[in-house]
Amino acid sequence: MSVFTPEQETYVRERQLCVLGTGKRDGSPQLSMVTYMFDGTYLLSSITKDRAKYANIRRQPHVAVLIPDGRRQLIVYGTAEILEGKERDAAIIAIRAHQGDPLPADYDLDRFPQRLDELKRVVVRVAPERAFSND
């Protein structure tokens, strides 16, 4: 069962930019503007392992996501997990397609996982648990 109302789900699907809030080691918030896609269940974002948000999520998976649109916003609270391997690869292909940047038809998919590893790229998958909007 979705935590989103039908209106909230439409709002989430129609946007690609959000602020991801994670917790630093000292308990203070870490905010990062990231692109995302909603696959009908999860919010997915591609990040790299050398960023604070990666370490924060590994240590403390409870996150907040703010999806802005001018003065309108939707705030989502949930639990994040880091995807690597085949799940990561499939999610990044989907994210790129959603954002209008699909892999070229002649792309070497056998090399794709290695290239993602070289870039230290992973996917954050947020399972929404609560959502609040201000409209």
φ, ψ for residue 72, nearest 5 deg: -75, 150
pLDDT of residue 129: 98
Task: State the Cα angle at 47 between 32 and 86, rounded to 5°.
Answer: 150
pLDDT in tens, 108-120: 888 999 999 999 9
HSE value, Cβ hemisphere, 13 Å, CA-based, for 78: 23
In whole angstroms, give the CA distance from residue 55 to residue 42.
Answer: 20
Q: Tokens 């039908």 label which residue?
A: 6
Beta bridge mates, 128 = 78
pLDDT score for 109: 84
pLDDT in tens, 58-110: 999 999 999 999 999 999 999 999 999 999 999 999 999 998 888 888 888 88
Enumerate domains of the chain plus CATH numbers: 6-133 (2.30.110.10)
pLDDT of 135 over the 80 cut = no
Mean pLDDT of the region 7-17: 96
Contacts by residues 27-33 (CB-CB < 8 Å, ≥ 24 positions apart): 30/56
What are the Cα distances from residue 78, in Å, to 52, 64, 107, 115, 117?
A: 18, 6, 34, 30, 26
Q: Is the pLDDT of residue 3 over 90?
A: yes
**Measured CA distances, 8 to 59, 69, 80, 89, 107 (Å):** 29, 13, 20, 28, 36
Q: How far is CA 126 from CA 38, 43, 46, 71, 105, in A?
A: 10, 5, 12, 24, 29
- Residue 28 above 90 pLDDT? yes
User: Which pTM value belongs to this model?
Assistant: 0.93
At 102 the pLDDT is: 84
